[in-house]
Structure 1
């Protein structure tokens, strides 16, 4: 199917904007600007008063944790995990995972996200949700090596790869997901590496999220988590590292050396008081930094535009430098850099040959007036409720703010049913 987005203001790969047309042939962008005379559109989207950006790339989620949104807030990380989150997660069944994923995917599509990198359990149910909804995903089976089911989880990640890597018209990529060094000791990580090498797969892992984690690692192993991972050899496989908050200059040099890509989660890091990642130093060193939301029980949403806004603000304060992470750079962190972070080279920019993963934002209204710089307004003034249309692989998943592949009412009903069963709590919005 051919689609023409007509008379839209598009954000080009160099960060500039241009009033133009975007031609889509099947799942790819065939032209931005001069559309060939012989191009015939089966569908025309009116782009007037809309800003076209590459679909947002959420580089780190636990999407089914939508089931625990607002269940446990304002707590320290390990207290939150050990006493609230992990006990409820142990009760989750496959249907719970599926409906939690459906809710998260619905939220992401409605807020302009076209790709997400997820780590959780029962990932085949998340894969089913991805297949059905049309979104793009990088999926990892979360593994806690010290848990009784550590070996089972590793085998489940292998099965996930065999059954779903490159599935759903190529929209699914599978990585391996050891949780973190403090839950996955070197011996277990070596086993993960062996399996990942067998499948030529990459690694998605939490690293250096809290100061306590780093201090404990140094106490136990005599080195930081980054140095430990280099010593174990895991960086040789290609790594998407979530958080990376507490880093030394030596850590950053290790990351640059091994092309470690970062999933920066500003909202979650602020809410859990984990700290502010040294993004300025990482970018200056040439380390790829994408953006993620983390799970909705530690954020509490999946709104990538909010993360883009935070990334453009908090690092200015951290460095006392108003030039740090300008608007265009923050937007790239949520799009092009995010695509690179999750290992995809055919999304993240609006240009010929790329996959047609596109988000259109409504530019009408008070917060867009006057409009001297559309990228600046998107990052500093707009909000995700202004997302109008979302395409993935050239297929419309959101049209004029309405989901086209998801029954939102049914998803909310099923999630509320699961939430009450898991927590035993009454829900205040029913």
Structure 2
């Protein structure tokens, strides 16, 4: 029911992003799809009917959180494989794992990571360039309904992390292709 209305009712606090940055105590809000239709005191919105009602007593309703750096397609695939104290020494092995991941594996690991992010309120994230099959990962983003900023993992200089090195022209071309192909996808939820 993409056009169904949802009423989040009786929240202890609603933190708004309106120009006044109000925090509404004992608040309710009504959403439909991606749009907030009404927000205010619970008593004011009590008569409003909705297809689904969520009891938010003793809860705080916030805007979605943003994760500024998350390698979506392999973060969960490598969790627990490497000791936490390796620093950047684990990267060559991560790149080897990433190189053999199939499109379906990237889709499923991306969906797993996004599901966990959404569970804790993160609705937007930046992936600085960790996928070989970004078009397939878009299917995971579409299914989850999140917002993402994507990049391309490129460098034109030798580096201590053993990142693959390409010519400056190739690196720029890769970034331009990513922007051209992905910026604005999913009704503007994807930025590159």
TM-score (norm 2): 0.74
> Which is richer in helix?
1
What is the correspondence of 1:87-126 to structure 2 with a 5 Å cutoff?
Answer: 87-119=96-128, 120-122=130-132, 123-126=134-137
Q: What does residue 15 of structure 2 align with?
A: 12
Deviation at 1:61, TM superposition (A): 0.4
For the Cα contact (< 8 Å) 2:154–2:165, is it kept in 1?
no
Deviation at 1:60, TM superposition (A): 1.0
Q: What does residue 164 of structure 1 align with?
A: 182
1:144 aligns with 2:155: yes
What is the correspondence of 1:25-424 to structure 2 with a 5 Å cutoff?
Answer: 25-33=32-40, 40-65=49-74, 66-82=76-92, 84-119=93-128, 120-122=130-132, 123-146=134-157, 147-148=164-165, 154-174=172-192
For the Cα contact (< 8 Å) 1:124–1:160, is it kept in 2?
no
For the Cα contact (< 8 Å) 2:12–2:58, is it kept in 1?
yes
SS at match of 2:100: coil
Structure 2: tracts of 5 or more residues without a match: 158-163
For the Cα contact (< 8 Å) 2:127–2:149, is it kept in 1?
yes
Q: What does residue 180 of structure 1 align with?
A: none
For the Cα contact (< 8 Å) 2:69–2:126, is it kept in 1?
yes
| Equivalent-residue separation in structure 2 for 1:26 and 1:38 (angstroms) | 20
CA deviations 1:110-134 (Å, max 9, x no partner) are 2221111112132222222101221
| Equivalent-residue separation in structure 2 for 1:152 and 1:70 (angstroms) | 34
Deviation at 1:22, TM superposition (A): 0.8
What is the aligned-residue RMSD (CA, Å)? 2.8
* Higher RCO (C-alpha 8 Å, min separation 6): 1
- Alpha carbons of 1:149 and 1:131: their partners in 2 closer, same or farther (altered >3 Å)? farther
| Equivalent-residue separation in structure 2 for 1:111 and 1:37 (angstroms) | 28
| Equivalent-residue separation in structure 1 for 2:115 and 2:174 (angstroms) | 26
For the Cα contact (< 8 Å) 1:7–1:19, is it kept in 2?
yes
Deviation at 1:23, TM superposition (A): 2.0
For the Cα contact (< 8 Å) 2:183–2:191, is it kept in 1?
yes
1:22 aligns with 2:22: no
- Alpha carbons of 1:97 and 1:156: their partners in 2 closer, same or farther (altered >3 Å)? farther
Structure 1 runs of 4+ with >6 Å offset: none
TM-score (norm 1): 0.36
